[in-house]
Chain A
Amino acid sequence: MTDHASIVDLLKGQVGDAVLGHQVFRRQISVTVDPDRIVEVCTACRDHEGLRFDMLTDLTAVDRLPADPRFEVVYNLYSFPHNRRLRLKASVPENGTIATVEGVWKAANWLEREVYDLFGVVFEGHPDLRRILLWDGYVGHPLRKDFPLHGIPQKVQYR
């Protein structure tokens, strides 16, 4: 627990009020951060000596329908030097955008494309924001809660 508190304190020392809150569940910590300052927060997480979360293990999203803001972009970070994990969460409204962290960790490139493809969250500044699992021209974002399980019938144009 002390370890978790120190992460939050260090992060607050770096980015101040960009840390909106934190929660510990099953001995894992999630920090909610200001989506407008996500790049600044991620850079601090990566570079600060006490944090050193040098690897973006995973990046995904959660559709909180009917909550507003609807989406939660989740960053699972890992620190090699300190051997610990941190989860960042940033809320994004339905038609909102969030800045890409591809410049912080290259691993974000495909992971953000996947979130864009399956949830429709737009990552501003992404160098190549295209669908990754579904084809160009596909209508809808399948991991949204209001997308039907059986899919939406649509024509595939063979090229």
Chain B
Amino acid sequence: MAETRNMVVNMGPQHPATHGVLRLVLEIDGETVVGVVPHLGHLHRGLEKLAETKTYHQALTLTDRMDYVGALLNNLGYTLAVEKLLDIEDQIPARATVLRVCLCELQRIASHLLWLASHALDIGAMTVLFYTFRDRETVMDLLEDVHGARLTPSYIRVGGFPEDVPPVFFEKARAFIKDFPSRIDEYERLLTQNKIWKGRTEGIGIISVDECVQYALTGPVLRAAGVKWDLRKAQPYCGYETYDFEIPTGTVGDVYERYLVRLAEMRQSLRIAEQALDRMPDGPVMLDDTRFTPPPKQDVYEHIESLIRHFKLMSDGYKAPAGDVYMSVEASKGELGYYLVSDGTEKPWRFRVRPPCFVNLQALEPMILGRMVADVIAVIGSLDIVLGEIDR
């Protein structure tokens, strides 16, 4: 009988299906994966170190660059953490709070659309990419109208927003909300009952509830396993408890159910965004607190005192009381947390991000051991990883 040996092969770091620069060292027995060692860090930019040298205001721009497909959610998590540290979280203007919810839900849809495009493409369904990018473009245009950027908005600030959204936003957002459910139906027609899609995703990458909790998995991965847990309901922020929406869950916790959960989540995000538009109050979008928030731009142009205040806030920053806070939001990938330690100065002594992708990726090994090499691609896609957030 011929002697057989296991092979060790590299997947990545430049493999398109690893969604960035992730390298997996796979040990395979024929087509079966019997071992995997993930190697991270190819992108490591030291954002946490860098943030500790910047003021609380300046560090905001670094948060965009972690999960760059859901940047507004990163902005929100960081901003809420700083607001908690400054103890001004209950003073944020109502319009800013509702606007935060509306924009973040649109951002979640954009993030899920990019996920669906890349995940389907990984598995071999190319048409979906063109469909989802068409719709993602609509959301990105909408967000570009609001903050002028497509990937790095830095738009949610401590205290609210630097400027209100333009009037055209409401009209465009309503048109998108009206139109988009039919688009989700299109994706479903392409994939949900598609035999190849089901064959590639059903029963693949199963993870139990106990394992999810052990590995601290959150977001759609946890919900697909059957746990009805979403930070927007469990520990609400920005008034999410006042919105009417459901938490989609699965039962098995496989790749297929993660797909179904995310599709259902897009529908729920539309519901939330529509409710936010319906209840949008008038009023300011920025807290008027001279200690932390800059003066209105028009005043900066017209009054020397406002110009000085603006300059001092932007360059010197403001001091935060000594202490530490942890604040997390339900990002499109799961629980995105910020742990800030203040020593009483203008800069965070410790700036820690709890990245959902990093934590979720750790469960790759139990999900793929014993499966085929092609399943590795499906499982990575179903985790919705962004290496910018993993490596920071």
Contacts and interface: CB of A to CB of B under 8 A. Distances in A.
Interface stretch (A6-14, A33-41, A131-139): A131-139
Contact of B216 (A28, A30, A57, A87): A57
B85 A132 contact: no
Task: Report the contact-size class of chain A (Cβ under 8 Å from the partner).
Answer: 35 or more
B214 A107 contact: yes
A109 B215 CA distance: 9
A74 interface: yes
A143 B353 CA distance: 13
Nearest to B85: A26
A56 B215 CA distance: 8
Contacts of A60: 339, 350, 352
A131 B39 CA distance: 10
Contact of B215 (A106, A147, A151): A106
Contacts, number: 84
B362 interface: yes
A134 B325 CA distance: 28
Nearest to A109: B362
B77 to A, nearest CB: 13
A110 B341 CA distance: 22
Contacts of B215: 106-107
B326 interface: yes
A58 B325 contact: no
Interface in B244-290: none
B126 interface: no
A150 B256 CA distance: 45
A30 B215 CA distance: 22
Contacts of A131: 41
Given A60-B339, A80-B213, 12 more contacts: A57-B216, A57-B337, A76-B337, A80-B229, A107-B214, A107-B215, A107-B359, A107-B362, A132-B41, A133-B40, A133-B44, A149-B53
Interface of A: 25-26, 28, 30, 54-58, 60, 62-63, 74, 76, 80, 83, 85, 87, 105-107, 109-111, 114, 118, 131-135, 142-143, 147, 149, 151
27 contacts: A26-B323, A28-B324, A28-B326, A56-B216, A58-B352, A60-B350, A62-B341, A62-B350, A74-B339, A76-B339, A76-B354, A80-B229, A87-B326, A105-B214, A106-B214, A107-B216, A107-B362, A109-B362, A110-B358, A110-B362, A114-B358, A118-B48, A132-B41, A133-B41, A135-B41, A149-B50, A151-B46
